Structure 1
């Protein structure tokens, strides 16, 4: 297995409880990218990109530019748990994990959890980050 297929397996396993409450879901991979989409109801208006992971093999980095948990599932530990699971995979493959393109409030929240600053809208997540 490579890092991409391991990430897909990890993410799908972690999100299984969320998937069971959705109308539909799918995970796709293309060009070193993993995306997870869910749809809450039969209306296409409820389709949401939950997660995008970018894999930079040259620099051995994993970037998460999009993580969005549907509002009805906030405060259940899904998002931070998902980041923690992705970190485990990154560590196995000796990749660094970055959360990028964040809002200022999420950036501050991650800094308060001991993430390391990596630019004005990016942080590096490591084993000292409280997830």
Structure 2
């Protein structure tokens, strides 16, 4: 069951988690926070978010691993990838795994909210597809 209006934020940096949480909650969203891919999957087993906002570079299991797990189980959940390193390789990896869109760090609060809202309103169609 998808939880209405809840965004799961996944990042290994506490300051990023807290900043995104404050911005999204100020705009009316509920948030769930996970500092690792493992924690995110554990949380999603109990409560599915409306969308996922996740860092692509994390220790141990990175965002690519997490996105693969999510796409196997919950294909319908939009995934917004955050990265401080928007290289062509990073973008290609995100695209291959089925990210809905990508937002480059650092981003402003307005950019974050606008991206999340546009994805949820389906104004941003999945620009990437894991299907050939």
Compare the two structures and name the one with the higher helix fraction: 2
TM-score (normalizing by structure 1): 0.37
TM-score (normalizing by structure 2): 0.37
Structure exhibiting the larger radius of gyration computed from Cα positions:
1
